[in-house]
C-alpha cells in the first residue's frame, strides 16, 4: 500500500477528487495525510470528512522558510510517503526541499505550461486572447512551474468568458486530470528518470481509463505524452 501525502492551501477540491478516486477505484494506495496552512481550513475539513488525518502548519508561525520547510518535511516523512501531491499549495519551495522529494512530488498548475507560469493564470490567458487554456500536472523541480509535464487537460476559451467562468471550466478539468495522473504514478506507469518523464512497460493508460478517449464532456480534452 503506497502512501500519498497531499499539501493544500485552499478549498482542497483537487484533494477531494484524488481522495475519492483513490477510495472508489481501489488504488493500491491511500491518502495518508493532508497538510495545509492557515487558509486551508475548508480543505482540511473536507479531508477529515474522508477520514484522512489532517494537520495544520502555518508558515507564518516560523521565522524562516528553512525552519518552516524542516518542520513540513518532518511531518510529511512521518507518513513514509511514496508520493507528495501539491494540490493548490501556494508556497514556493526551496531547492533542498524539492531535491528531497525529487521524482516523488507532483503539482497541478492551472494553465497549459509553459504558458502562464505563476499566478493569475486565467486573467492572463483572457488578456492574451488564447483560444485554448487548461491545466498541467508535472513533476516538481526547482524552477517555478517548470518540471517535466506528465499530462495536460485543454479546455476551450468561450466567447464571453470571464475569469470566473474560465476558472470553473479549468477546475472541472483538473478534477478529472489530477486523479488520473496520480493513479498512473501509483500504478507505476510513468516516472521521472534523468530529469525526464519516462513511460514504463506498463505503458499508456488501460483501455478502460476514462482519460483515454480523446474528447471529454464540455469539449475539454486530455493530452498526455507517452
Burial 75-86 (b: 16+ CB within 10 A, else e): ebeebebbbbbb
Q: Toward ligand GRF, which CB reaches closer, 137 or 185?
A: 137
CB closer to ligand GRF, 1 vs 42: 42
DSSP state of 200: -
CB of 51 to ligand GRF, least distance (A): 19
Q: How far is the CB of 87 from ligand GRF (least distance, A)?
A: 5
Closer CB to ligand GRF, 19 or 76, in the complex: 19
- On the CB side of 144, CA atoms within 13 Å amount to 8
Distance, CA of 151 to CA of 38 (rounded, Å) = 30
Q: Pairing state of beta strands 2-8 and 83-86?
A: parallel
Q: Shortest distance, CB of residue 161 to ligand GRF, whole angstroms?
A: 16
CB 152 within 8 A of CB 177: yes
Nearest-approach distance from CB 65 to ligand GRF, in angstroms: 19
Active-site residue (options: 109, 122, 133, 138): 109
Number of residues that make up the chain: 226
Residue in 12, 67, 17 with CA at minimum distance from that of residue 37: 12
Residues that bind ligand GRF (CB under 6 A): 8, 10-15, 43, 87-88, 108-110, 135, 171, 174
Choose between 2 and 11: whose C-beta lies nearer to ligand GRF. Answer: 11
Q: Are strands 105-109 and 83-86 parallel, antiparallel or unpaired?
A: parallel
Residue 193 is among the residues annotated as catalytic for this protein: no
List active site positions. 109
Amino acid at each position: 500500500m503506497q502512501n500519498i501525502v497531499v499539501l493544500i492551501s485552499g478549498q482542497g477540491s483537487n484533494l477531494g477528487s484524488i481522495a475519492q478516486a483513490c477510495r472508489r477505484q481501489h488504488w493500491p494506495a491511500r491518502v495518508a495525510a493532508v497538510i495545509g496552512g492557515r487558509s486551508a481550513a475548508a480543505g482540511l475539513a473536507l479531508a477529515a470528512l474522508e477520514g484522512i488525518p489532517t494537520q495544520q502548519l502555518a508558515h507564518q508561525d516560523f521565522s524562516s522558510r528553512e525552519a518552516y520547510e524542516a518542520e513540513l518535511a518532518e511531518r510529511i516523512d512521518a507518513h513514509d510517503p511514496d508520493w507528495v501531491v501539491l494540490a493548490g499549495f501556494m508556497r514556493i519551495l526551496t531547492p533542498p526541499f524539492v531535491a528531497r522529494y525529487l521524482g516523488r512530488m507532483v503539482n497541478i498548475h492551472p494553465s497549459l505550461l509553459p504558458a502562464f507560469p505563476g499566478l493569475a493564470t486565467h486573467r492572463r490567458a483572457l488578456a492574451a486572447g488564447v483560444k485554448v487554456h487548461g491545466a498541467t500536472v508535472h513533476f516538481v523541480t526547482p524552477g517555478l512551474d517548470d518540471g517535466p509535464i506528465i499530462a495536460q487537460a485543454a479546455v476551450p476559451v468561450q466567447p464571453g468568458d470571464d475569469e470566473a467562468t474560465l476558472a470553473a471550466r479549468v477546475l472541472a478539468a483538473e478534477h478529472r486530470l489530477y486523479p488520473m495522473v496520480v493513479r498512473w504514478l501509483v500504478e507505476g506507469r510513468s516516472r521521472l528518470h534523468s530529469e525526464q518523464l519516462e513511460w514504463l512497460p506498463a505503458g499508456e493508460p488501460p483501455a478502460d481509463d476514462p482519460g483515454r478517449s480523446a474528447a471529454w464532456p464540455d469539449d475539454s480534452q486530455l493530452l498526455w505524452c507517452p
